[in-house]
Amino acid sequence: MNYPQTTRPPTAERVRERPVGGWLGLAAALGLAAVGLYLVLRGGEPPAAILVVLALVVAKGLFTLEPNQAAVLVFFGEYAGTVRRDGFHWVNPLCSRRTVSLRVRNFATPTLKVNDQRGNPIEIAAVITWYVEDTGQAVFDVDSFESYTHIQSEMALREVAGTHPYESLTPGEVSLRSHFTDISKLLTQTLREHLAVAGVEVDDARITHLAYAPEIAHVMLRRQQAEAVVHARERMVEGALGMISGALGRMESEHIGRLGEAERAALVINMMTVLLSESPAQPVIRLGEVRGTGP
């Protein structure tokens, strides 16, 4: 299911402010301040005051950016662009600035209780790796891109968990438990669709916790144990039949003895009993067949 994101066009990230080197701006501010102080000493107070005020205004446009940081600039309510290059910069001092981190972040969702495709209650959690790609959208198109990312991550995780079964019952069926890589790719793609409006790019999404809800966990455990027992019995029967077939074929090929239908059936039953019994087989001797035991 694709949820409608927004009806507004995204903010154009390609609009960029072209900052001047910070050292040049600092030199201009210091030069204006020096000239103003010189005029103060010469007694020219009005021009000196104006130059000092200009120096302070110019200095307001100075700022620094660390690696993987960006400064979003707004000029009288209009988006003026984004500065992404780290270092010392000077921009129009009338622009307001908001610093946005471009670093990769991890968000661990809380353990959610949802119903899988078959309606079974399960518990699921994931870790989302994301970063801000479009600073204009992140700042202006959503109220808080961090809160938006957290809420949409939980929604996407619920969506993926609700459209897939916990475990596959038929061959080729994609399930949460057995198709970890496919589910991670689907969760990542779903998150990218949900978070595109906020200018957020999802790098990876991995499920960290997956289990049946406590109220049905013991029932599902018994079912899994029963399935394991049935599977083991099938393998044991296949192996026993192969051994019996090989034994009968060798007896006939080496002329060890001629067996009638009744004897073959009795041999098969006895061998199946010995091979499939959970306890060691005990030999049974019929008293009527014991001869020559007297004094």
Reported as a single tens digit per residue, the pLDDT across 78-112 is 888 888 888 888 888 888 889 999 999 999 999 99
Reported as a single tens digit per residue, the pLDDT across 181-235 is 899 999 999 999 999 999 999 999 999 999 888 776 566 666 666 666 666 777 7
Residue 123's pLDDT is 92
- Is residue 24 predicted with pLDDT exceeding 50? yes
Average model confidence (pLDDT) across the chain? 77
- Is residue 277 predicted with pLDDT exceeding 50? yes
Residue 267: pLDDT band (50, 70, 90) is: confident
In angstroms, rounded to a whole number, what is the distance separating the alpha carbons of residues 28 and 18? 18
Please compute, for residue 198, the number of CA atoms within 13 A of its CA located in the half-sphere on the CB side.
23
In angstroms, rounded to a whole number, what is the distance separating the alpha carbons of residues 111 and 125? 5
DSSP-based three-state secondary structure for 115: strand
Give the tokens for residue 43: 């007694």
Could you tell me if 202 and 188 are in contact, meaning their C-beta atoms sit under 8 angstroms apart? yes
Type and span of the H or E element at 289 = none
Beta bridge partners of 71: 83, 99
Could you tell me if 60 and 79 are in contact, meaning their C-beta atoms sit under 8 angstroms apart? no
CATH 3.30.390.50 fits 105-212, yes or no: no
For the chain, state the CA radius of gyration.
39
DSSP-derived pairing of the beta strands 105-108 and 121-132: antiparallel
Domain with CATH 3.30.479.30 in the chain: 105-212
- Range with lowest mean pLDDT among 52-66, 87-101, 133-147, 256-270: 256-270
Residue for token digits 């301040």? 33
The backbone torsions φ and ψ at residue 280, rounded to the nearest 5 degrees and listed phi first, read -60, 140
Residue 244's pLDDT is 77
Residue from 51, 68, 64, 69 nearest 91 by CA: 64
